[in-house]
Structure 1
Amino acid sequence: MAIRVRAAAVQAEPTWLHLPDGVAQTIGLIEDAAVGGAQLIAFPEAFLPGYPWWLWLNSVDWGTEFRSRYLANAMTRDGAEMRAIADAARWAGVHVVLGFAERAGAEIYLAQAMIGPDGRILVSHRQSPTSLEREVFADGIAPPAVHHTELGRIGVLGGTDHLCPERRVDLWREQVHVAAFSGFTVYHDVDDDSTIAVNSTVGEQYARDSRTVVIAPTALVPMTGWSVVDARSPEHLMLSGGGEVARIIGPDGRDLVRPLPPGRPGLLFADFVVDESANPWTDGQGYMRAC
């Protein structure tokens, strides 16, 4: 059976460290995706309450301040905020893949929620945060899974878990893959093109290796016009906001649709067909057809 799917990938700046505004923003994007005809919308990693870019800074004081704020604005999987988002998914009739920082007691996890149009919520974790990310996030305890939906088998991974072969094995037989990236800042003298290439290369290679459609949302980070300078050398720029682009990629590693311009917020839509009897492939026109 062939299933026609319209998906939307989010390219947007999170409302950094302000969960109520972030929930409202998330609900608004879900509604916009539904108006655009999407049956599936994918959000970046840690979209709520934003990725903790302060980890890159060398100030212990900054870390202490931001970690307490980050914990306070992280979301629980069974709280009122998640329920409001699930209700929005149900009212809009769309599947939602939402990256968020999950608060569980004193621990925080890089989590992915698969929310169905019936409002059901399933949560998985990034299994292997980087050594720097472990300053904030614990190792995942809810492994990635393939979600069986009326749109096909959808797998989800966040960030650097794409570089771990054992994580990819966990997603065997997926038909659509959500590669949730947090986006990048620009560090020191690294240029935007280099950082954009990291996510793009990972998404393209994953699509070719797995023969799946890859939906790669991304955050615009960390804030519009945001930058940090070294207090000891004010002329030395340490961090600044990057461009970054969301992509929807066919199994041949090529874009199904032209990405949005770097740094511009919006939703990227693409249409494809999932064949339940075989892995799909691209016909070069932004749609999928069965082999």
Structure 2
Amino acid sequence: MNETVRVAAVQAEPVWLDLDATTDKTIDLMREASESGAQLIAFPETWIPGYPVFLWSHSVFEQMDFVARYRANSMSIDSDQIRKIREAASQYSISVVLGFSEKDGGSLYMAQIIIDETGEIVLHRRKLKPTHVERTLFGESDGSGIKVVDTALGRIGALNCFEHLQPLTKYAMYTQNQQIHVAGWPCLGVMGDVPALSPETIMACSQTYALEGGTFVITATQIMSDEGAMAFPTVGGKPSPVYTGGGGYARAYGPDSTLLTEPLDPATEGLVFADLDFGAIEAAKLTLDPAGHYSRPDVTALLFDNRPQAPVVQTQKLPQASWHEENLSSSALDTEPTPIDM
């Protein structure tokens, strides 16, 4: 494992609702990051095929055509597009944290994968609970995606968007001794005037994660241009009514909450780079380690179920003795309840 890691955070506009074109742009950004010495590149939430802005700006009736196009331009984990990105990761010897709309059967999920420098997928996760109107398009996940993985670059994990406002989800991540966290955010150029959704609030969430978790946090965001706003026109042919412009806030924060990167203009596409010295984690946790010496498990503790869940369990794969046979036997049913001292 390297003691110092060079990372790149993406601040760019997807080719809205275009799977193949955004895949090509993804690979171009990977090459650019690698040529600048980056060992890891972080992409925004639902980077491919772009965040579904129409969910917030159009009535349900008006969304139908957008939903069909969005589904058609989402990708499965075994798609040709994922294969191309994996091959590029190997070619450029760069690890990738990618946010995308995942198609699995008849459902969509807000997914993230971590691809290592050899092109192997070392983590595949989905957003635990989509936010507000996102739930009309995307399905939920389970606790198996709240996970930090060992890589050649260190212990890496990722969350999407408002998962950074779920205190228990964050705490489950903090307990896994993260060193690099990727915060995937959508286009911040929409509804930026709403305080809870403003770039300032979102960056504060990212910075807080770094401080609480004692980890480096890399934030990646989409931007939206005037032309991009026309990808989601109103019935009258006007730009998306929630468009507020720009929205680029690619950053890197240190484990003591220090901003490590020079911000780009919010309307400018590009990459920001940071060199991460893991010694800073040790120093930060001497002061504050909420999942370690600064915890009080005798007072508060987290119940965390990280088992994968499935909607169907095939009975032939269950043990021969069923749960009912083992636990509801006649002897068990005849047992007197044990009194509880009050």
Name the TM tier (shorter chain). Answer: 0.7 to 0.9
Confirm whether residue 166 of structure 1 aligns to residue 168 of structure 2: yes
> Is the CA contact 2:160–2:184 (under 8 Å) kept in the aligned structure 1?
yes
Q: What corresponds to 1:209 in structure 2?
A: 212
- Distance apart, 1:254 and its partner CA: 2.2
Q: What corresponds to 1:29 in structure 2?
A: 29
Q: What corresponds to 1:154 in structure 2?
A: 156
Shift in CA distance, 77/41, structure 1 to aligned 2, threshold 3 Å: same
Shift in CA distance, 111/222, structure 1 to aligned 2, threshold 3 Å: farther
* 2:140 partner amino acid: D
Structure 2: state its 5+ residue gaps: 286-342
Calculate the aligned-residue CA RMSD, in Å.
Answer: 2.6
Shift in CA distance, 39/184, structure 1 to aligned 2, threshold 3 Å: same
Q: What corresponds to 1:139 in structure 2?
A: 140
Aligned to 2:211, what secondary structure does the other structure show?
Answer: helix
| Higher strand proportion | 1
* 1:216 partner amino acid: T
Structure 2 counterpart of 1:262, from 255, 259, 266: 266
State how 1:152-231 maps to structure 2 within 5 Å: 152-171=154-173, 172=175, 173-187=177-191, 190=193, 195-221=198-224, 224=227, 226=229
Q: Give aligned-pair identity as a percent.
A: 37
- Distance apart, 1:240 and its partner CA: 1.3
Shift in CA distance, 191/143, structure 1 to aligned 2, threshold 3 Å: closer
Q: What corresponds to 1:128 in structure 2?
A: 129
Greater CA radius of gyration, 1 or 2? Answer: 2
Alpha-carbon separation, structure 2, partners of 1:159 and 1:148 = 23
Structure 1: state its 5+ residue gaps: 283-291
TM-score by length of 1: 0.88
Aligned to 2:162, what secondary structure does the other structure show?
Answer: helix
Alpha-carbon separation, structure 2, partners of 1:258 and 1:145 = 29
Alpha-carbon separation, structure 2, partners of 1:66 and 1:160 = 23
Alpha-carbon separation, structure 2, partners of 1:35 and 1:82 = 21
Confirm whether residue 57 of structure 1 aligns to residue 86 of structure 2: no
| Higher helix proportion | 2
> Is the CA contact 2:95–2:115 (under 8 Å) kept in the aligned structure 1?
yes
Shift in CA distance, 45/229, structure 1 to aligned 2, threshold 3 Å: closer
Alpha-carbon separation, structure 1, partners of 2:228 and 2:53 = 14
State how 1:51-90 maps to structure 2 within 5 Å: 51-90=51-90
Shift in CA distance, 198/222, structure 1 to aligned 2, threshold 3 Å: farther
Alpha-carbon separation, structure 2, partners of 1:136 and 1:225 = 21
Shift in CA distance, 223/158, structure 1 to aligned 2, threshold 3 Å: farther
Shift in CA distance, 3/82, structure 1 to aligned 2, threshold 3 Å: same
Aligned residues: 278
> Is the CA contact 1:126–1:144 (under 8 Å) kept in the aligned structure 2?
no
- Distance apart, 1:257 and its partner CA: 1.7
Alpha-carbon separation, structure 1, partners of 2:226 and 2:49 = 13
Q: What corresponds to 2:109 in structure 1?
A: 109
Alpha-carbon separation, structure 1, partners of 2:243 and 2:215 = 33
Q: What corresponds to 2:303 in structure 1?
A: none
